[in-house]
Structure 1
Amino acid sequence: MAKKSELEILAKLKLKQPKGLKKFIYHETDYQKISLDRRCYRRYGYVEVIEKWRGKLLLRVFAYKNYSQKEKRTYKNIMIQEVNRKLQGYKSFLAGNMSANMSGRTIYFEDELYFGEVKNSWECYGYEMYDKESIIQDLNIPYCSYDLYQKHLTTEIKEYWTNKYKHSIRFFDYICLYLEEPKIELLVKAELDHFITSIRYLDLSQKSLSKIFKVDAKWIPFLHEIDINDLLVIRKMKDLRNLDDLQSLKTFNDYDFIKKYWKFPQTFDYFSDTGNGSKRNRLFSNVSIYNDYLRFAEELGIDLHRNKNLFPENLIKEHNHLEKLINRKKSEKSQKAFTKFFAKHKKHIFKNNEYVIRPVKSEEELIVESKVLSHCVRTYAKQVADGETEILFVRKVSSINVPFVTVEVRNKKIIQVRAKYNGSPPDGVKEFLKDWSRKNKIQCSY
C-alpha cells in the first residue's frame, strides 16, 4: 500500500477549533459592523490562524456567516466552518466545505467537515488571529525582514497595482519562503521583493546582483521596473539595449509577421524617436500597420531580406499601395471563380412572361443585391467562389437589372428564398420556382 502524503493525512484529520476563535470573530472582525446595504453586504468573512503540525507551520482559515438582519448577529448565533488548510513546504493546499458559481461562494456550515487538495483560486484570505512578532521570535528568525517587506508593500499599494503589489504574498507564505531560502532577505533589503516568489529563476548563492539575476550589469538599475517575465526575456534576447527595446519587443510579440522578419537593432530603431525611423513610423501608432505591410509584402512575393523593402521610408504610403495590389489580386481571383461558377450554372437560366432566374456573375453583384434588398447575401461570396453553395437571382422581366428575390441552392435543394428585408417572396415567384425546380430536378418545398 502506497504511503499517504502529509496533505492526505491532514485532510482526514479532525482538528479542534482554536481557543478564542468565536470571541475573536465577535469583537475583532466586521461581524457586528458590516453594512446591511445589499451593495456592500458580504455574506461571509474569514479568519486566519497559524499553528504547528508535525514541526511545520500550518495555516488554517475559518469562514463565519454574516447575517443580513442585524438582530441575528449575536454571539450565540455565530456560525463557523473551516475552509482552508495550508502546510509549509507544499504548493497545493486543502480546501473544502464550499462551492462557487456566478453569484459567488457558498459555505456549508452544517455539513460534515471534508477537504480536497487543490491548486487554484479556492484560497481564502481574512483577519489574522495571530501575532507576527511572536511567530518570528518562536521560529528564531529575527532577520527575516518581514517588517521591511510590509513597509515596501504598503508604499506600493498607494501607487496602485505596481509590479511589486501584483507579486505580493501574505505573512504565512513569506515566512515559509524565508525558512526555505533565507537569502530572500537580500532581495527585500535591495527593494527587489517583487522577485521573491520567483527565486527558482535566481542564483542566490552568488554575491553580485548581475550574477544573482544572471543578466548583464547594465540591467541592474532597471530591476525595480521589470518583473520576472521581463527578466526571462532579457536573458534570452541578449542584444536588447534598454527598456525601450524591451517594451518594443513585448509589443512585437503580439504580431506574427514582425516577429518573423524582425532584425536587431534595425527593427527597434525603425520605430524609435532617435533612430532612422520618422515620426510617422512610431511604434504604438503604426505597429499593426507595419505587421500588415509585411503580410502584404510576403503574399506579393516581395523580397523582405532587402532593408529597402523591410523598412520602407514611408510606411503608410507603401502599406496603402500594397493593400490596393492585394485587393486587386483578390478581386481578380474572385472574379475568375465567379466566371467559372456562372459558366457551370448558366444552364439553370429560366424565364416566363413575368420572371427570370439566373446565377450570380460577380462578387459586386452580391454586394448590390445585399444593399438593395437589405439582407446578408454579400457574406456568401467565399462560399460561392469555393463552390460550396449556389446563389441565383430572380428578377422581373420588366426590370431585369433591379434586385428582387435571392435564392440559395445547395446539393440540388433550395435552402432559402429571400425577398426584401428577408421577407417571403410573392406567390407568383413561388409558382415560378416550382416550375424552375421541376425543370432542373431541384428539390423545392413550395
Structure 2
Amino acid sequence: MYTVWNTEIYCRVNDIYTYYSFFNKLVNEYDYNAKDLWLYLDRIKTFEAVEDMSFLIRELCDYANMMNQLSSKYDKYPRHFLTTHKIACRNYNRMKKEFSEELFKKRINKQYECSFGDYIFIYPDSTQDIKDEATMQNNCVASYIDKVIDGECHILFLRKRNKPDESLVTIEVRNNHIVQARRRFNDDVTAEDQKTIDAFNKKFANKEDKAA
C-alpha cells in the first residue's frame, strides 16, 4: 500500500508540474492570455469530454508550436480543438515545404481580382499567403501550391469587401472557372457566397488565362 500510495502521489504531482509547465510556456512563449487560456481549457475539457487536463494542455502546446512555425495568423482558441489539432498535424509537413517564390510570382494572375457587391476576390501575393489561409481556414489548400506553380490551377481568397484580411472562402480556379469553394473546416459555401461565385464564373467565361 505504501508503494502504491507513493506512486499515486508522484503521478499527481507530476501531472500538476506538467500542467503548469506547459501553461507557462503557452503564456510566455506563444503570447496566450493567462485568463483566456484557463477559461478556454476549462471549456474544451467540458465540451470535448477530455478527462486528462495534462494531456489537453500538452496537445495545445504542440498545436501552438506547429502553427507558430507556419503562420502567426493561427487561431489560438479554436472552437473544436481536437479536430483542429488533427488537421494541423496532417498539414504540418506539407506546409513546412519551401517553394520557389520566383516561380509562384510568374503564375500570379491579377485579372482574377474583382468585386461583386459586398465580396472581393483576392489573389495571394506569395506562397506564405496561401499557408496563412490554410492555417486560418484549417484546410489543406497549402497542398495546392505545387499545382499553382505547375500551372494546373489558381488559388483565390473570397472575402468581404469591408474585411479583406479576414478569411472567408478558399477558391480553386481551373480554366477560368471556379471548381472548388470551401469555408473554414471545408464547410459548404452559403447561398450568398454561391451567387458571387456564379457571377465570377459568368464574368470569366470564355476568357483566356493570361498567366497560363
TM-score (norm 2): 0.49
- Larger RCO (alpha carbons 8 Å, 6+ apart): 2
Structure ranking higher in helix proportion: 2
Bigger Rg, structure 1 or 2: 1
